[in-house]
Amino acid sequence: MTDHSARPTTLTDEAGPVHHSPARFSVTKLFDDLPCTHRSWAHGGKCSFLHGYERSFEIEFGCGELEPKTGFVIDFGDLKEVRALLQAQFDHTTLIAADDPHRELFEDLGRSGVIDLRIMDHTGMEGAAEWVHDQVDRLVRERTVGRVRVLRVVARESRKNAVVFRAPDPGEPR
């Protein structure tokens, strides 16, 4: 039996203590088929218009210690909640920035059922990658009692363009 009390680094977040072991093992899982629309209102070009992508997210999960019974980093079958979370945010939704000057118009469209609206700090792939990291990391840490964390998220808007968000090292400011 592994002693989980002697972990190298302890931080605190909203959910309480977060224990970090060096990530000696990692696995990746691809979540795709997430079509949504967004706009980058502050952009001076075409990106200020509503446009859409079939987004995908490759998430790297890491741990210092494998699950004792299975020998897995994480059982891919246990990631249904992650898929549901991503579908709720990105599947046929419209993403609008919290500071969009036309936010009220989009909220009216949402209330009338014309769009399925989500408000985010940043609607581009960089903001989406960070959002996915934060939400999935919190979920996975809760389910694995801090044993597994999200190390990296690759957010794709197309096969040619991707953004990589890497989790900060323990103790590193964001």
Query: Which sequence spans correspond to the domains of the chain?
Result: 23-69+76-166
Helix spans in 3-124 (H) = 80-90, 103-111
CA angle 172, 150, 126 (to 5 degrees): 75
pTM of the entire predicted model:
0.84
Return the pLDDT at 37: 97
Return the pLDDT at 20: 53
Mark 44-73 as b/e (b = at least 16 C-beta within 10 Å).
Answer: eeeeeeeeebebbbbbbbbbbebeeeeebb
Question: Per CATH, the architecture of 23-69+76-166 is what?
Answer: 2-Layer Sandwich (3.30)
Please report, in tens digits, the pLDDT of each residue of the chain (174 residues total): 333 333 333 333 444 444 556 789 999 999 999 999 999 999 989 999 999 999 999 999 999 999 999 999 999 999 999 999 999 999 999 999 999 999 999 999 999 999 999 999 999 999 999 999 999 999 999 999 999 999 999 999 999 999 999 998 766 665
Q: What is the DSSP string of 47-58?
A: GGS-EEEEEEEE
